[in-house]
């Protein structure tokens, strides 16, 4: 009888574990268009940890590029479509890596004690811009560039404010980014030691509204493009560099906006509650994005002109 109960216990535990695995959400994030517009690279937990995949824009040929033993995230295509830059914790903490478009020859790009992430290739494919911060709570993010051979790691911003999400202009002369106010230095130094109430008070005093800035590729001539009480972020350039796309709640709800590169002619072009964290195609015709519908995440594309949405993978 004891043996029977033991076996039933094993069976029940296995069933319960299977149920937990079955009910665990599968995530899809960070889509990016290939140079020819025929593929999208993205990250997903469909096979366990975050791994990187590609898929054709008609939803076919889903291909896994990294093995999922570690968290591999935030993929970005090179301008010629031959390489992908991404981040991974495979060596202990988040650093930048490069691989061929077929997933071969994966190699480490950055090697620093800091956390490096959100990479973006320069239009000539020779540099990667990224954001970095110290590996401790309440520290600032700064924007760096590095050559694709791993040399000339250079900080572009001044460590005085919180700069994030760099995006190269199509001509490679400028870098778009977002900025939020930083915590005062005494708060930064003592954040880990603060009580929960002290942390909430510090956060309440801080203006966390993200605004859009642009600077020259060497970090000079920083110019502010937006100024609101709500966040303007999730930026992207048009192919000709004349338009900047971003997400904002300035009109009372979350929408995709466009403006000229001098910050004039701001207008809504898509419903941001439906099109979540969009990445625009190189020809400016489509958004790729991920979102959750009925508790299931999926990868979608949206035709701006027809306002039609297509599910590529996941979501069911």
Look at residue 4 in the predicted model and tell me its pLDDT: 44
| Type and span of the H or E element at 282 | none
pLDDT per residue as tens digits for the range 84-124: 999 999 988 899 999 999 999 999 999 988 999 999 999 99
Are 212 and 205 in contact by the 8 Å Cβ rule? The answer is no
pLDDT at res. 80: 95
The whole-number pLDDT of residue 270 equals 85
- In the predicted structure, residue 15 carries a pLDDT above the cut 50: no
CA–CA separation, 19 and 185 (whole Å): 47
C-alpha separations of 39 from 66, 104, 281, 288 in Å: 17, 17, 10, 11
Measure CA 314 to chain center.
19
HSE of 312, CA atoms in CB hemisphere, 13 A: 28
Q: Is the dihedral of CA 31, 34, 39, 41 positive or negative?
A: negative
The H or E element spanning position 33 is: strand 28-33
Q: Tens digits of per-residue pLDDT, 269-293?
A: 888 777 777 899 988 899 999 998 8
Dihedral angle of Cα 115, 119, 122, 125, to the nearest 10 degrees:
90
Contact 246, 261 (CB under 8 A): no
State residue 89 phi and psi, 5-degree precision.
-105, 20
């Amino acid at each position: 009888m004891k043996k029977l109960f033991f076996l039933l216990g094993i069976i029940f535990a296995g069933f319960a574990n299977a149920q937990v695995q079955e009910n665990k959400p599968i995530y899809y994030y960070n889509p990016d268009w290939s140079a020819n517009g025929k593929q999208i690279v993205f990250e997903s937990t469909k096979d366990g940890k975050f791994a990187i995949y590609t898929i054709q824009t008609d939803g076919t040929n889903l291909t896994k590029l990294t093995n999922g033993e570690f968290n591999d995230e935030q993929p970005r295509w090179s301008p010629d479509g031959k390489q992908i830059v991404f981040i991974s914790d495979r060596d202990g903490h988040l650093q930048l890596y490069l691989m061929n478009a077929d997933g071969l020859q994966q190699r480490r790009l950055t090697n620093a004690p800091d956390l490096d992430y959100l990479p973006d290739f320069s239009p000539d494919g020779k540099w990667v811009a990224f954001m970095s911060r110290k590996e401790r709570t309440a520290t600032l993010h700064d924007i760096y560039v590095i050559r694709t051979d791993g040399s000339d790691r250079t900080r572009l911003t001044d460590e005085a404010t919180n700069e994030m999400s760099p995006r190269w202009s199509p001509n490679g002369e400028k870098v778009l980014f977002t900025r939020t106010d930083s915590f005062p230095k005494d708060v930064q130094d003592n954040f880990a030691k603060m009580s929960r109430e002290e942390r909430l008070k510090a956060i309440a005093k801080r203006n966390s509204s993200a605004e859009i800035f642009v600077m020259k590729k060497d970090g000079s001539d920083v110019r502010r493009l937006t100024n609101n009480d709500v966040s303007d972020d999730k930026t992207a350039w048009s192919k000709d560099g004349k338009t900047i796309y971003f997400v904002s709640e300035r009109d009372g709800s979350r929408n995709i906006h466009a403006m000229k590169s001098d910050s004039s002619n701001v207008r809504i072009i898509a419903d941001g509650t439906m099109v979540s964290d969009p990445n625009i195609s190189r020809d400016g015709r489509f958004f790729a994005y991920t979102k959750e519908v009925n508790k299931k995440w999926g990868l979608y594309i949206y035709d701006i002109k027809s306002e039609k949405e297509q599910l590529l993978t996941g979501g069911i």
